[in-house]
C-alpha cells in the first residue's frame, strides 16, 4: 500500500514516514502542495495524510483539486488549529477524517486503519477468506488457524491483492503500490512473491487463492466469509 504524507514540518514529516514505513507502507513525502500534486499525478496513492497549513497551496485547495480530478483515495487531514470551521472546510473539500495536532501516533494509525476498513468494506481488522485469515492490523496471516511465516514483501503483496479481492491487479499496479519510486521495479520479483504465496497459502494445490489472468495480472480469488 502506498501513502502520501504532505507536511511542511520536516521533523514531523520524517517521523510519520518512518512510522508508517515500519508498518509496511510505501511512503512518499511532500513538503509543499505543488510537490504533493505532482506526486499524485505521477504515482498511485492509496491514502494521503495532508497538513492543512501548507506554505504554498492551502491543504483545503489541494484536496479540492484532487477530488475534482477524480482522485478517490481517502484523505486524513492534520490541523494545528482548534477552529472547528477549518475542520469543516477540510471535510467539505473532500477529506475523510481529521486529527488535530498535537496527536499520538497510535491515534493517527487507528484513524488510518479505520479509513482503509471503510474503503474496503471491512468492519474488523481480521478478515477470513475461507481457511485463510488475514489480520491487517497485526500483519499476520494464518491457514486453518496455523500461523504462516511471510516476509514483509510477501505480506504486502498478499495484503494488496486481498484488499482488491475479486479484481484483476496488473504487475505494474502491484510494483507501483509496493515499491519506492527509485526501486528496481522488476516484474519477475512480483512473480517470485506470488509463487511463494501460492505455496504457503495452498500447499496441497487445491485452494488456488491467487489466480493468474493471462496478459492482465493476478486476482485474489477467495472471498470474505462471515465469522
Confidence of residue 181 (pLDDT cuts 50, 70, 90): low
Q: Sign of the C-alpha dihedral, residues 143, 149, 154, 160?
A: positive
Read off the C-alpha cell for 112. 488510518
Residue 86 reports pLDDT greater than 80 = no
Is there a shared CATH topology between the 2-120 domain and the 126-220 domain?
no
Range of weakest confidence among 9-13, 86-90, 216-220: 86-90
Given the candidates 3.40.50.1010, 1.10.10.10, 3.40.50.620, 1.10.640.10, the CATH classification of the domain at 126-220 is: 1.10.10.10
What is the predicted pLDDT for the residue at 83? 66
Predicted pLDDT at 76? 95
Task: Indicate the pLDDT class of residue 81, thresholds 50, 70 and 90.
Answer: low
Dist. CA 93–CA 102, nearest whole Å:
22
CA atoms within 13 A on the CB side of 45: 27
Would you place residue 123 in the very low, low, confident or very high pLDDT band (cuts 50, 70, 90)? Answer: low
- Render pLDDT for 14-70 as a digit per residue (tens, 0 to 9): 999 999 999 889 999 999 999 999 999 999 999 999 999 898 998 999 999 999 999
Contact between residue 91 and residue 49 where contact means Cβ atoms under 8 Å apart: no
Q: What pTM does this model have?
A: 0.73
Instruction: Write out pLDDT tens, residues 132-157.
Output: 999 988 889 999 999 999 887 788 89
* The three cell numbers locating residue 68: 475534482
Place of cell 483539486: 65
User: Do residues 219 and 210 touch, judged by C-beta distance below 8 A?
Assistant: yes
pLDDT at 125: 80
Neighbouring C-alpha atoms within 13 Å toward the C-beta of 136: 26
Distances (CA, A) of 108 to 77, 105, 179: 10, 5, 23
How much is the pLDDT for 32? Answer: 95
The DSSP output letter for 13 is H
| Matching CATH number, 2-120, of 3.40.30.10, 3.50.50.60, 2.60.120.200, 3.40.50.2300 | 3.40.50.2300
Percentage with pLDDT > 70 across the chain: 92
Q: CB-based contacts of 24: which residues, under 8 Å, 6+ apart? A: 1, 139, 152, 155, 156, 159
Ordered by start, the domain boundaries in the chain are 2-120, 126-220
User: What's the rounded mean pLDDT across residues 206-214?
Assistant: 92
102 prior amide bond cis, ω within 30: yes
For 160, the grid coordinates are 494488496
Amino acid at each position: 500500500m502506498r501513502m502520501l504524507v504532505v507536511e511542511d514540518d520536516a521533523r514531523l514529516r520524517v517521523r510519520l514516514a518512518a512510522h508508517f514505513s515500519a508498518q509496511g507502507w510505501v511512503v512518499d513525502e511532500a513538503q509543499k502542495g505543488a510537490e504533493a500534486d505532482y506526486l499524485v499525478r505521477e504515482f498511485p496513492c492509496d491514502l494521503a495524510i495532508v497538513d492543512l497549513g501548507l506554505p504554498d497551496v492551502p491543504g483545503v485547495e489541494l484536496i479540492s483539486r484532487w477530488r475534482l480530478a477524480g482522485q478517490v483515495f481517502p484523505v486524513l487531514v492534520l490541523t494545528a488549529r482548534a477552529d472547528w470551521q477549518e475542520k469543516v472546510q477540510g471535510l467539505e473539500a473532500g477529506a475523510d477524517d481529521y486529527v488535530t495536532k498535537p496527536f499520538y501516533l497510535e491515534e493517527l494509525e487507528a484513524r488510518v486503519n479505520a479509513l482503509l476498513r471503510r474503503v474496503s468494506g471491512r468492519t474488523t481488522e481480521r478478515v477470513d477468506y475461507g481457511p485463510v485469515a488475514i489480520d491487517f492490523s497485526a500483519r499476520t496471516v494464518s491457514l486453518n488457524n496455523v500461523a504462516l511465516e511471510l516476509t514483509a514483501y510477501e505480506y504486502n503483496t498478499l495484503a494488496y491483492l486481498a484488499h482488491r479481492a475479486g479484481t484483476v491487479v496488473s504487475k505494474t499496479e502491484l510494483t507501483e503500490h509496493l515499491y519506492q519510486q527509485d526501486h528496481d521495479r522488476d516484474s519477475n520479483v512480483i512473480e517470485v512473491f506470488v509463487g511463494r504465496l501460492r505455496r504457503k497459502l495452498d500447499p496441497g494445490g487445491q485452494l488456488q487463492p491467487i489466480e493468474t489472468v493471462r496478459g492482465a495480472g493476478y486476482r485474489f480469488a477467495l472471498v470474505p466469509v462471515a465469522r
